[in-house]
Amino acid sequence: MLSHRAGLWWGLLGVLAFSFTLPFTRIAVEGLSPLFIGSGRAVIAAALAAVALAATGQRLPSAAQWGRLALVAGGVVVGFPMLTSYALTTSSAGHGAVVIALLPAATAIMAVLRVKERPAASFWTFAGLGAVAAVGFAALQGGGFASLDAADLLFFGAVLAAAVGYAEGGLLARELGSWQTVSWALVLAAPVMIAAAGIEVAREAPTATPVQWLAFAYLAAVSMYLGFFAWYRGLAIGPMAQVSQVQLTQPVMTIAWAALLLGEPVGWSTVGGGLAVIACAGLAVRARLKASRRIADDLGGSPGAAEAPEGEREVCSTTSLVQEAATAGTGPRPSRSFFTRPAEAAPGSVRPRPARRADSR
């Protein structure tokens, strides 16, 4: 039996892997075009995903699941990488990290709308404050609301795209499994991304320094795919609620890497804006988790019943598709192989809750 501390360390490793994404994208765009970076990294990740799916004998998704995978691919495989790549041609990685810190709250909002939940008023309050903090930071950095530039709009678009993809992917992970969901999304998007990369290469052959190519390789292999495995593992070991909160440290790490690797200045506005957005996102996520636990207590009553309803309702958070898989119980568990295929489940089905124990008195 693996300890809860192991889950936290695996989750932290996944977050550490993702925290380099914006700084390395900033390095890559100095020599490679945003279109090539956004599409090329997806092509390489799709090749890795295809090998993993074939090697583990995963079942093909159903027709309905392919349609939902298209939504995941549009947000996570196409939308977020493309939009952030273009934004970072003119913006700093630290600036982008603060705006994208809004993603946990945005994902929770999309999940609430998707499954028609009715969270407490505090959830909406903190989510709204987080949005205001992110927009306010972007405006102050640019000199006022009228000076919000294209990069800021691209970052906000990336947050929206990723939130939609993560929320739908979290629900779909109940049926396909956690890492399997992102793998199938990558495979589905591969033809479009191969075409986009081919068009860009035909227009202009990519040339870059060794450092820029290494940054691109990291984005393709780790940020786009392998980083999810550590994150999935941590969430599978759990406890999910605690492990998921580790992701709120990602913007802080990204700002630190931007300063250390790129020499970007870290002013008080960046620190203050980052802390404000992170705090609001964390409070919004916690408000939703508390509501789920109250429902669990009302419906379950047995030890561990608090986890099951939370898993049925909690959709994956910021950087990954697996938070829902881990909470729903369909993702990989420590007691079996990480690559084990999930049990067959009808689309949209939910595992039955554990029966309440009879009173022994």
- pLDDT bucket at 324, cuts 50 / 70 / 90: very low
Q: What is the mean pLDDT of residues 65-84?
A: 94
pLDDT tens digits, 149-185 = 788 899 999 999 988 888 888 788 878 887 898 999 9
**DSSP for 203-224, written as a single string:** HS-----HHHHHHHHHIIIIII
**Secondary structure of residue 119 in the 3-state scheme:** coil
Q: Within 13 Å of residue 92, how many CA atoms lie on the same side as its CB?
A: 20
CA distance 169 to 101: 20
Q: What is the mean pLDDT of residues 95-104?
A: 81
pLDDT tens digits, 125-134 = 877 777 777 7
How far the first Cα of the chain sits from its last, in Å, is: 31
pLDDT tens digits, 14-28 = 889 989 999 999 999
Across the chain, mean pLDDT equals: 77
Contact 325, 173 (CB under 8 A): yes
- pLDDT bucket at 255, cuts 50 / 70 / 90: confident
pLDDT tens digits, 214-250 = 999 999 999 999 988 887 777 667 665 566 667 777 8
**Secondary structure of residue 99 in the 3-state scheme:** helix
pLDDT tens digits, 342-355 = 555 444 444 444 44
**Secondary structure of residue 358 in the 3-state scheme:** coil
pTM of the complete model: 0.74
Tokens of 320: 């990954």
CA distance 233 to 333: 8
